[in-house]
Structure 1
């Protein structure tokens, strides 16, 4: 009972931190003068709201919180994945887990972008839009498909961990875990050491989760103090369309898959995702939220550690359903703004490119814009059109990260149920 109360209190504290951050940030922005700041005198020293709060307290507190989460990503993925793979008594099980997970992630991404394109063509969010002359955006060059596949395999696993290249870390972890199972008694000693290390890392996750209300407060306060509402006026239709599609995908597509493929109550999953969703919304990063997503799948949904350790990190790396929805709507929006008619072959190319681009893309804030640049180039649309939506992409990025992590847990539950590795008593216990 005490654990239930503690978790309930943490959720309430996180919500209070988020709402307090929004209110205080908005009040600070309302106090700005024509210069976009508010300066007051304190003990004869001029102090600005921007310097003291936005770029000071909020920036520092938010960055520390996000960095604390990111700090755990590589060790958590490496250690938990090694533990999960080394605990598989049947080597063929690894192939089944990989095949099922990859198929489901690609399926949901295809559904997401196809649905987004169809609805965007129906609504026509870019019709009648006046193109601003100052719109500019410099996109980084996106790697080709061949390079993406090559980049999955590390030449230096230590460098991959230092750089946070998650696909390379996953590949090395899988190989290391398989080698442990093949090493006999020597491997058993290494496996026991990794299992102990995994318990220590999970304790660190709990420590950081207890600090979450403060971190969420800082992140939301800075966002509310810096977002210019005028930036939303001309593209309100685009914003609302992407937002509605994101919510629909989370509340319709995932529940249908969960109910039809795993015979599980989707409402239970959605209720248990609330804390993880707040983390994801605040950080805008699937990778930064990974420790929380992993803990939710294992402790609240009853997904066996060997399955969660494989499917969740893989999903944080390749599952970009929310980003795919944004790309579909944004492509149609930019095409209509520039007066370009997209052919059927163009639309098919958008679906294929966006789906393949999600593989190997880092789950960090703003990465969707880089992926969008590649999609636009494939259908000969001006990349400069990204500047039209960059002003509001931060809010949408936060929402689509929630969709992505929800998809990760959904796939983890489906795969676990198919492998008889799901504790349904834990899953159905809504008090957890």
Structure 2
């Protein structure tokens, strides 16, 4: 009897283990283990943060809790500049823009169109939902937010041009150009003088432009380009190997960042209730664009289901949500697209670095934020004001830095476009820790979908380029498997070095 039970149990276990459905689940868990680990670390960070909030921990204790996350973010940001420089130069040189200029044109046009669409979507949501309520301003007790006091649309475009052509490429690694207005008192009248200043922060736009020009010219130099190109290729591979080690600290870093942020919030519940309409409008807009608009664009252009591609981006999106920085997520995004989705390296190395100007989430957020501030001040806006806001938000979003809460500084600057008081921005700052995470996810996913769309539209040029360069280092062969692109890279030396990476 006991023997029959044991045999029956063994038979059931064998059937379960050999079940196709169970095997599929196990394979999915193995394939997405990094995403699952990050999601678990986010949940742990939120839970521990909520538990520790009532304990009134000392500042030293909070610093120690946040310290692993701070080190993790610093390490990721440390890798961003070498990644951008090496990727852009490799991408521009191997792509040979002189022959494949359509790839660059498609990328820039897509960036501009999606930015304009998100501004229009934000304006539409802000007008229809009307999240601003004048009572919010009266009950607000948060401190005033300081920042630049004046800006107009022309200044935004002029600053983009100045940052595009920096005076010193080394200075561009640490500072950006910014136009500010200094007050000048003459008798009983105050006037403003336009002054060009420098603010801390990497001028990514200038570095992108310089590297594109450098890489493009390098690609036209025949065999003489090989030593320089090899140098930047090795640099990229070194950064990937560093990432292989850093990536194991992602769960600890993510949990630490989330936990420390929740503990330090002054009044979590009342702030969320007070600004629930604004949060709902912005996050709803982000999800609408991410889950509906982008999926429709992918389906219409690529003629296949977008969901396998979207779900494969999980590790990059989770990192973007945790760090609230697209730049900090860039190394992991490269690894997901290059190693997991096997996208064409020529496209990823070209599109992702210049994706700094593609801030879809910031474009949507800025337009809703300005309408919200106008509504809480009972300011009636005309068609001309709406058009001005749209134009200013488009220009500002494309010059936004890919760092946490960068958009909140742009809101302060844009307030002067329609004469809004900058003090009210403190309301948005109180909830930006949450909104910024959804905004960063939209910024990042916009770049990832650009890679897929530009690669599909440029497949003839890429195929012709591979045929004309049979000895190129990174030839790819495109196939369509289970709704995703698979690139069978022949460069085994690069692929082999990342076989053990947990992404």
Which of 237, 240, 244 is equivalent to 2:277? Answer: 237
Matched, 1:67 2:79: no
Aligned 8 A contact 2:479 2:485 in 1: no
Residue matched to 1:102: 108
Aligned 8 A contact 1:301 1:423 in 2: no
Which of 133, 138, 144 is equivalent to 2:146? Answer: 138
Larger radius of gyration: 2
In the superposition, relative to structure 1, how do residues 181 and 427 fare at CA in structure 2: closer, same or farther (>3 Å)?
farther
Which of 196, 216, 219 is equivalent to 2:234? Answer: 196
In the superposition, relative to structure 1, how do residues 249 and 194 fare at CA in structure 2: closer, same or farther (>3 Å)?
same
Matched, 1:78 2:85: yes
Matched, 1:419 2:458: yes
What displacement does 1:262 show?
2.8
Residue matched to 1:155: 167
TM-score by length of 1: 0.89
Residue matched to 1:325: 364
Structure 1 window deviating more from structure 2 (128-137 vs 9-18): it is 128-137
Aligned 8 A contact 2:362 2:407 in 1: yes
Alignment partners' CA distance in 1, 2:211 and 2:107: 17
1:386-397 equivalences under 5 Å are 386-397=425-436
Residue matched to 2:209: 171
Matched, 1:377 2:384: no
Superposed CA offset, 1:31-84 (max 9, x none):
2xxxxx24xxxxxxxxx3x422x22232x1111100111011110111111111
Which of 344, 347, 351 is equivalent to 2:390? Answer: 351
Aligned 8 A contact 1:301 1:427 in 2: no
Structure 1 window deviating more from structure 2 (392-401 vs 378-387): it is 378-387
In the alignment, structure 2 segments of 5+ residues that lack a partner are 1-22, 176-201, 463-476, 487-502
SS of match in other structure, 1:92: coil
Which of 16, 21, 29 is equivalent to 2:53? Answer: 29
SS of match in other structure, 1:425: strand
Alignment partners' CA distance in 2, 1:427 and 1:391: 44
Q: CA RMSD in A?
A: 2.4
1:235-384 equivalences under 5 Å are 235-315=275-355, 317-384=356-423
Matched, 1:87 2:94: yes
SS of match in other structure, 1:144: helix
Aligned 8 A contact 2:327 2:403 in 1: yes
Say which structure is richer in strand. 2
What displacement does 1:196 show?
2.4
In the superposition, relative to structure 1, how do residues 203 and 4 fare at CA in structure 2: closer, same or farther (>3 Å)?
farther
SS of match in other structure, 2:213: helix
Matched, 1:51 2:60: yes
Residue matched to 1:45: none
Alignment partners' CA distance in 1, 2:479 and 2:263: 44
TM-score by length of 2: 0.77
Alignment partners' CA distance in 2, 1:425 and 1:118: 38
Aligned 8 A contact 2:82 2:235 in 1: no
Residue matched to 1:206: 244
What displacement does 1:321 show?
1.5
Which of 220, 239, 244 is equivalent to 1:182? Answer: 220
What displacement does 1:402 show?
0.6
Aligned 8 A contact 2:169 2:206 in 1: yes
Residue matched to 2:490: none
Aligned 8 A contact 1:280 1:402 in 2: yes
In the alignment, structure 1 segments of 5+ residues that lack a partner are 32-36, 39-47
What displacement does 1:426 show?
6.5
Residue matched to 1:129: 135
Alignment partners' CA distance in 1, 2:285 and 2:441: 13
Aligned 8 A contact 1:302 1:423 in 2: no
Structure 1 window deviating more from structure 2 (274-283 vs 140-149): it is 140-149
Aligned 8 A contact 2:83 2:331 in 1: yes
Alignment partners' CA distance in 2, 1:430 and 1:271: 14
What displacement does 1:264 show?
3.8
Q: Across the two proteins, how many residue pairs are aligned to each other?
A: 413
Aligned 8 A contact 2:478 2:485 in 1: no
What displacement does 1:158 show?
2.7
In the superposition, relative to structure 1, how do residues 395 and 359 fare at CA in structure 2: closer, same or farther (>3 Å)?
same
Alignment partners' CA distance in 2, 1:90 and 1:324: 28
Which of 419, 422, 445 is equivalent to 1:406? Answer: 445
What displacement does 1:97 show?
2.4
SS of match in other structure, 1:87: helix
SS of match in other structure, 2:164: coil
Aligned 8 A contact 2:122 2:364 in 1: yes
Alignment partners' CA distance in 1, 2:75 and 2:235: 18
Alignment partners' CA distance in 2, 1:225 and 1:310: 39
Aligned 8 A contact 1:83 1:195 in 2: yes
